Amino acid sequence: MPRSTTPSRTTAPPWAEAVASWTGRIVQAVAFWLVLALVLLLFAPGFVRTVSDWLAVLNLPTFPSVFSVVLVGVIASGLLRRQRAALWFVVLVWQFPVAVLGLAVGLLWVFDDDKEALRADGLVLSPLEIASWVVAVSAVVLLVAARSAFPARVSKGAWWRAILVLVGGVAVSASLTFLLLEVFPNTLHGIRNRVNWSLSVAMGLRPSDYPLHADGAGPAWLALVAGLVSALALVLAIAVFMRSTPHDAKVEAADELAVRRLLLEHPSDDSLEYFATRWDRSAIFSQDERAAVSYRVVSGVCLAAGDPIGDRASWPDAIEQWRSHARRFGWVPAVLSTSELGAKAFQAVDLHPIALGDEAIINTRTFTLDGPAMRSVRHAVARPAREGYRVLVRRQAEIPEDELAALVAAADEWRHGEERGFSMSLSRLGDAADPREMIVSAHDADGNPRGLLSFVPWGRRGLSLDVMRRHPQAVSGVTELMVTELVAAGRGTGIDRVSLNFAMFRGSFEQGSRIGATPVQRFNRRVLLVASRFWQLDSLYRSNEKYLPDWKPRLLCYQNASQLTQVILAVGQAEGFLPNTPNLFHRRDRSPDLHRPEVSAAFAEAVRAQETALLTVSAPTRRLTEQQAMRHAKLEVLRAAGMEPYPVSVPRTVSVGEAVRIGTWLASPGSPAATSRPDGAAPVGADASPGTVDAPGTVDAPGTVDAPGTVDAPADLSVVGRVVRLRDHGGVIFADLREGTDEIQVMFTADRPGPDLALWRRAVDLGDQVSVTGDLTRSRRGELSLHGTAWCMASKALTSPPDKHRGLADAEAKVRLKHMELALDTRTAQILRGRSAAVRSLRESLAARDFIEVETPILQRVHGGANARPFTTHINAYDLDLYLRIAPELFLKRLAIGGVGRVFELGRNFRNEGVDATHNPEFTSLEAYQAYGDYTTMRELTRELVIEAAIAVHGEPVSHRADGTVVRLDGEWPVRTVHGAVSRAVGQEVTPDTPLATLQAICSERGVHVVPDATHGAIVTELYDAFVEGQTVEPTFYTDFPLETSPLTRTHRRDPRLAERWDLVAFGAELGTAYSELIDPVDQRERLTQQSLLAAAGDPEAMEVDEEFLSALEFAMPPTGGLGIGVDRVYMMLIGASIRETLAFPFVRPSGRG
C-alpha cells in the first residue's frame, strides 16, 4: 500500500479559479455543439454553417467533424482537469495566432497608405473578425495570467511521444486520403489541390479556408473516413500522453504500517476502512498525519474508496491534500462507496454525492433465527446441519500454515472467473500480513472443506466480508450456516457487528416491488432485473435481505457532471465489471517489493508487533496536578523513612469518640480512682494493671501544654483519624483528627522523645489517616488533647480535601464527592445514620406485626405493577430483552395467592423518568400485603409505620422541616376524598356525577391543560395534581380515586366509578399509596388488556399483560390490602431534605455533559 508524497498546496487567486472554470465550461459547450452539429449537418447544413460562423468568434474549431469533436472534447476535458498542457494548447494553437494575425492586419491599415491594395488582397477585417481578435487578445492575457489555476503537469518526454503519435496518425490519414482520391471521382485538379484537401480533412479544417485552400472537393464519405482515422490517432496520442503521467509506485512497509496504525488508533463506523490496505492503493495523508485518503488511479480518475481513515478532525485536511494531489496530476477526483458521514465530508469540498446502494450489516446482539421472517434461513441452515456439516470460526493467525494454504487453494479452485472487487475486496486471502482476518470454514461429515468466508477486521469489534466461496458439490444452505455460526460465535468473542455484501441499487429493487409503486419505479426495477442477467445485482440484494440486516447507504461522489461518465467507467474497471485499458494506455504495475518472501515475512512480523502494541489495552497515563504530584512524592518520603504509607494495620486501642468520652469523664467532678469508669472497666489507678500508670499533669512552661493538677489517665492510648486541621508552632505541632462525627486534638512537643516530628512535617497533609499514640491531657483553656508519643501513617491521602469550614459549597460537587462530604460534614453523616435507623425501623415494625420479608426479581420479562416508563436491558444467555422492575407488586401478590398472608419487600425499584428534588431514577420502596385487610387497615398500618420511623430517627414522633420548624406527627391524620379535596381547591363542587363539559371548563378557567379526549377520571386526576397534592402540608390521606386511573385496584364497594385507593401526601409530596386489592381475575384481565392496548398505541407508561400473574390470580387470591411507601420520600419528610440529600449516592449526570 504505497504512500503518495503529500504535495505542497498550489493556490490560485479566486479570479484565476473563475477564469479557469469558465474556460473549461465554454470549450466543453463548444464540444457539445460539435457533437450535435455532426448530426444536424445531414439535415440542416445551412443552419450548422451559420451557427459555426457565429461561434467562430471564439477562435475554436466550430465546424463539425469527427476530428474536431474529439480534439475539442479532449481539450475541454484537460481544461476541466486543470492541465497546464491544455491551457497552452488553447493559448498557442487557437488564440495566439489569431491575436498576432489581427494585430498584423491592423498595423498594415495604420502604416500602409495603399488601402485599395489591402482591400484587393482581402486584408479587411469584418466585425466578426474584429470581435474574434478582441476575444483572442483577451483570452491570451487572461489565460496566461491565470496559469496558476492550471497546476496539472506532465512528466518529461510526454510531449514528444504524444506529438509523434499524433503527427504520424495525421500523416497516415492524409496519405490514405490522397491515395483514395486517385481512385475515386472528385473535382480536385492538380496534386497541390489534392494534397491541400487531404491535409485539411485529416486535420479537421475546411478545405476552402487558408492556408490549405483547395479548389474543388472530394467525396464526402472520404472526408468522414479521414476524420475518423485522424480522430483515432488523436485518441492514441492522448492515451500515450496519459500513460506518461508520473506517480510514486514504490511500496514502502513504513507507509503501509502508518495506514494500519491509523486504522487501529482511530476506528470508525466505516466497515470498508481495512480495504485501504490493498496493495494497489495509495494514500494521501493530512499534514499532521492523523488522517489519510486511500485511492487508486484508474483511467485518469483518482478514485478514493470508503471514508477517509484516521482522526475525524483531520479529515478535511486529508481530503484537501488528496484533491490538490489529483489536481496536480490532472486526475479526475471521485469517491466510491463512501458512507453518509464520509459523503458529508467530501461534499464540503464541492464533490456531489449520489446513491449507489446499501450495505447489509448484522448486529450480533439482536440477530435471531426466531420468528416467521427468518423461516427461509432456518430451513437453509437445517439441511447442512442434518448432513453433519460443522463450521469453524477462527482468526487467520490461529490456523496452521498447511491448513490455511489448503483453504486458500480451495478458494481459488472454487472461484468462477477472474477476481473482482476494489472497494470491498482485499485480494490477498491467506496473506501473513492479515493475522486478524476471520476465516469461517464449513466442513462435511468427512472433514472436507465445503465452504469458506473470510472477513477483514472492522475496528476492534466488527468484521467486514471479503471472500465468499463454496464447493460446487456443497449442499445448499452452507453459506447460511456459516453466516449464522459466525454471528453466534461473535457474541462470545466480542464481535458486535458483521458487514455482509453490498447491494447496488437496493432502493430501486425495494421500491419497484412494493404495492402501489409508480410506473417509473417499476420500470427502473425491470431494467435492473435485465442487468442482473449479466451482473449480480438482484441476487446480491436477495442473498442479504433474508438475514434482516440493517441497511447502511453507500454513495458515489463526483466533481463535475461532465466527468460522471468517465468516473462510472473507471468504477466499472476498478470493480472488475469492465475490462481494463490495455497496458499501452496506463502506467506500469507497482513495485512488487512487499511480495518478495524476505520482505513479506519481515513486514508481516512488523504488522503483528504493531497490532499487538496498539490492541493491548493499557491504562492511560494519569496527568497529576502540582499538588497531587507533591503528595505522590511524599509516598517515597515515607517509604524511605521506613514507614509504609498503606499498612495492613496500625495501633488503635479506642475510637476517637471513646477517647473523647474517657477524657470528659476524667475531667468531671468526683472521678477519683474509686469511681467506676463509664465503660465498666476498673477505676484508673486502682490495682493498676500493666498498661496503665498514674500520670501527673504537665507543668506550665513555655512551649509546653498546661494541665492543671494531676489526673489519672491510661497510658498508650492509640486513636486513628483523618487529619482535618494542622497547626505548626515550631516547638508544638497540633492536629485535629476526625473519625465519623467525632474529633480530637492531638499534639506533639519537642520535649517528648519518640515521635519523628521532622517526618511528620515532611509527610503529613490534610486528609491523611494517621494513628497517634499518647496520653490524654488538657490545655489551659480546658481543651482535651492527646499528647503524642508515637505516630504512623494509616493511609496517605493523594487528593486534597476541601476547606474544613466552608466544605463543598457546590451542590453538584457534594454529590460527586460524597466521600469527602461524608468524611468532613457532620450533618451528612447524621443524615446517613438517620436513614439507616428509619429503614431498620420499617423492617422491624413489620416483622413485629408478623410480616415476613421476601425478595422478588429485579429483572423482569414484563413490566407491570405501576404506570411508569421502565428501563430496558438485554440478557445474552437467553437472547431476551428484560426490564428493570418498576414495582414488585405482581410477584408479591403471587406469594399472597400462595398463602403468605403477611408479606413485604423493602428494596430498589427503577423508573426511567425525570430527576428532580423528589425523583431519582432508582429509589427504595416498601410494599406490603395483608390478607383479609383493605385500604382502611393499610391506612392505619402506614400511619403507625411512619410514626415509629420518626421516633427511630428523632427520638420522638416529629418531622423537622428545612426552615427549622418541628411538626408533631402523633395526632390524627386527616382523611379526605379526592373529589372533596378538588372541590375545595377549585371552589366548585366536583363529584363523579359532574358533567365532563363542566370539568373541561374548570380546567380551561384555571389554565390546566388536558387533551381533548381526556376522560372524567383523567381530568379529576389532573386537577388533583395541580391544586391539591402540591398544596398539602400536614400528612393527609386522599381516598377514593377514579377507577379508570387505578388498573390494579378493587372497585369501590359503594360507588363502582371509584376505586378503593388512597394516597398519603405530606408537605407537597406523595409518600405512599394503598389499595383494597383487585382479586377478580376476569376484571383484572380486562383492565390489563386495556393497558396493553394503550401500550401498543404508544403509551410508554402503560402496563403489559402478565399472563403468569393472571394465571396465578385465577387460583384465587383472598381479600387483601396492599400498601406501597416511598422510603426515600418518608425520610425526606422526616428531616426536611431533598431526595439527593437523603441518598448516599443519588444519580448524577456524567462530568462534561450538558
Write out the binding residues for Mg(2+).
1063, 1070
For residues 503 and 509, what is the distance between their CA atoms, to the nearest angstrom?
Answer: 10
Alpha helices (H) along 471-537: 478-492, 506-513, 519-531
Q: Is the link from the previous residue into 651 a cis peptide, with omega within 30 of 0?
A: no
Q: Which three cell numbers stand for residue 1117?
A: 387470591
Residue 1009 CA, chain-centre distance (Å), reads 38
User: Residue 185, class by beta-carbon neighbours within 10 Å (0-12 exposed, 13-18 middle, 19+ buried)?
Assistant: exposed
> Looking up cell 480512682, which residue turns up?
673
The H or E element that residue 536 is part of is none
For residues 1069 and 1126, what is the distance between their CA atoms, to the nearest angstrom?
Answer: 10
Reduced to 3 states (helix: H, G, I; strand: E, B; else coil), residue 881 is: strand
The torsion angles phi and psi of 722, rounded to 5 degrees, stand at -90, 135
Q: What pairing do the DSSP bridges indicate for beta strands 332-338 and 301-305?
A: parallel
The torsion angles phi and psi of 658, rounded to 5 degrees, stand at -65, -40
Q: What pairing do the DSSP bridges indicate for beta strands 852-853 and 282-285?
A: unpaired
Strand partners, 1064: 1037, 1072
The DSSP secondary structure of 144-171, one letter per residue, reads: HHTGGG--B---TTHHHHHHHHHHHHHH
For residues 1134 and 987, what is the distance between their CA atoms, to the nearest angstrom?
Answer: 31
Reduced to 3 states (helix: H, G, I; strand: E, B; else coil), residue 307 is: coil
For residues 19 and 27, what is the distance between their CA atoms, to the nearest angstrom?
Answer: 12
For residues 1110 and 683, what is the distance between their CA atoms, to the nearest angstrom?
Answer: 69
The H or E element that residue 832 is part of is helix 826-848
Q: Which residues of 645-662 are buried (b: 16+ CB within 10 A; e: fewer)?
A: beeeebbbebbbebbbbb
* Amino acid code (one letter) for 1120: T
For residues 1016 and 435, what is the distance between their CA atoms, to the nearest angstrom?
Answer: 69
Q: What is the largest CA-CA distance in the chain?
A: 154
SS3 content of the chain, % helix, strand, coil (to 5): 45, 20, 35
Other beta carbons within 10 Å of 165: 19
Q: How many helices (H) and strands (E) does the chain have?
A: 36, 32
Reported residue count of the chain is 1154
The DSSP output letter for 1077 is B
Binding-site positions read 1063, 1070
For residues 660 and 664, what is the distance between their CA atoms, to the nearest angstrom?
Answer: 6
Strand order in the sheet with 922-931: 852-853, 902-910, 922-931, 1120-1126, 1069-1076, 1058-1066, 1036-1042, 975-977
> Looking up cell 475546411, which residue turns up?
206
For residues 1127 and 1137, what is the distance between their CA atoms, to the nearest angstrom?
Answer: 13
The DSSP output letter for 764 is -
Contact 248/2 with Cβ under 8 angstroms? Answer: yes
- Single out the residue of 487, 418, 494, 492 nearest to residue 453, CA to CA: 487
The H or E element that residue 241 is part of is helix 220-243
Angle at 612 between CA 607 and CA 613, to 5 degrees: 100
Contact 88/74 with Cβ under 8 angstroms? Answer: no
